[in-house]
Chain A
Amino acid sequence: MKECKKFRKDLVAFLYGELEARRQGNFLSHLKSCSDCQSELEKLEEVKRGADSLNKEIEEAMSSVDWETLPAQIADAVFKKEERQRESWFKRFSRALYRPQLRPVYAALLIGILLGSFFTFVVFRSPFKKQEKGEVFIIPQDFIERVELEMARRETLDYLEKSQYLILDFVQAASEEERTQWQREFASQKARNLLLKKKYINQQLDRFQMAKAKEICDQIEYLFYELTQVADHLPAWRIEEINNFIEEKQLLLKIRLLKKELEESKKSEV
């Protein structure tokens, strides 16, 4: 039994003809005398024969292959594959981009770009949209009011200055002749202009609640109105009366103070 164990390991090698020559003699002499090992060998031979049964399947598979053309096919495939592998990444990338399978994708992309461009054009170029948006230059109400106030102040200052010069000319005219000449010029030209201006200033003074300025301007207006009503030649009593009015109302002083006040308010705002 111990001997059997020693020889059992050689059974498969013996079966496949690979038992070393030096061991073969001993093995065969043992096999002749040992029925167990003979039986074991027979079983292994059965397995070997069973494995041989696959030979037919292998032969069938072998005969189904065209061995003549296979080397060329394999060589083609190998060289093609290696050529592809040798190609630069850029070429491979380009080849991948130009694959016919990607054509529908490119077509879809192109359509998308065209539609996108079209709608972008429509949205940004639409006259309706432009009108809707209006691009209207909106000026804040506050700003407009400040501008109008500034204009009113300037107009008032201008009115006051011109009125001041006219009144001064009247007051300072010494002789009767000078006064008559002054009266002609005044009545015909300047007073009427200043009265017209006063009508415009009135609205501004009311609007911006410049009550003090309005009061003085009304007095000046009254004075000019009186002067325009009289004839070319002013009688002495009338001149006296007007002078009294100017003095009584301290009209020149008020004009100066008001001018100063308006100029200062302008500076403080700036």
Chain B
Amino acid sequence: MERLADRKNEDISSLVEKIKSGDREAFMTVISLYQKRIFLLAFSFFHNREDAMDIVQDTFLRLHQKIHSFRKGENFQNWLFQIAKNLCIDYYRKNYSKRKEWGIEKDVEEINSSLQSNHDSNLSSDLREIFSQCLKKLAEKQRMVFVLKHYNQLKYKEIAQVMKIAPGTAKSLHFKAIQNLRGLVSPYLGERYEGV
């Protein structure tokens, strides 16, 4: 996917110019180039298909609205990821913080106890659920850095541009995210991880 973006990178500035002049086809080309990456980012952040689809649509709507503020020479992908990242965080604050307050999200301990009582359950799906919930427990920035690094496979430098932070900070946030995840999942991994 990254290669595809690189291959099209030479054309992206002309595509951007065309979008600025209201070219629908150019806009659709850009969407087809980046839709999966945006979806991947949003889905790995929320673990919810519908929320991820909303973010994809809103990201391209925002892109179309803000395309005139895109400067020549700027990394288009990072600029687009910045939009998506901001939307994800806004969306999370708007919708998920309430869910958390209302206790809709499952607690890791709750999942653990249900797993211990059900020895025949599918371990891989259990592990997915554990990780999914533990990821949601990370702080916003750590979680975003982890998602960008692990699932979107961005480099620290790119993450730094998307997050508007220093590369060292991105590296540090990633380290903290892994450490915290480890702390959250270690009780379960110690007993069950063998053989998965």
Contact = CB atoms under 8 A, between A and B. Distances in A.
B185 A47 contact: yes
B57 A74 contact: yes
Contacts of A55: 151
B76 interface: no
Main secondary structure of the interface of A (DSSP, over half): helix
Contacts of B28: 71-72, 75
B189 A50 contact: yes
Given A58-B43, A78-B60, A12 B174 contact: yes
Interface in A1-56: 9, 11-13, 15-16, 18, 43-44, 46-51, 53-56
A70 B185 contact: no
Interface in A63-91: 64-65, 67, 70-72, 74-75, 77-79, 81-82
A67 to B, nearest CB: 6
Nearest to A55: B151
Interface in B51-73: 52-53, 56-57, 60-61, 64-65
A78 to B, nearest CB: 5
Interface string B150-177: 1100011000000000000001001100
B127 to A, nearest CB: 5
A11 B36 CA distance: 30
Contacts, number: 114
Contact of B61 (A12, A47, A78): A78
Main secondary structure of the interface of B (DSSP, over half): helix
Given A70-B35, A71-B31, A46 B193 contact: yes
B52 A61 contact: yes
B157 to A, nearest CB: 9
Given A53-B127, A53-B128, A54-B131, A62 B150 contact: no
A78 B149 CA distance: 30
B116 interface: no
B47 A13 contact: no
A58 B189 CA distance: 22
A90 B124 CA distance: 57
Contacts of A132: none
B40 A47 contact: no
Interface of B: 24, 27-29, 31-32, 35-36, 39-40, 43-44, 47, 49, 52-53, 56-57, 60-61, 64-65, 124, 127-128, 130-132, 135, 146, 149-151, 155-156, 171, 174-175, 178, 181-182, 185-186, 189, 193, 196
8 A-B pairs with the lowest CB-CB distances in the bound complex, closest first: A71-B31, A71-B28, A12-B175, A71-B32, A47-B182, A78-B61, A53-B127, A61-B49
Interface of A: 9, 11-13, 15-16, 18, 43-44, 46-51, 53-58, 61-62, 64-65, 67, 70-72, 74-75, 77-79, 81-82
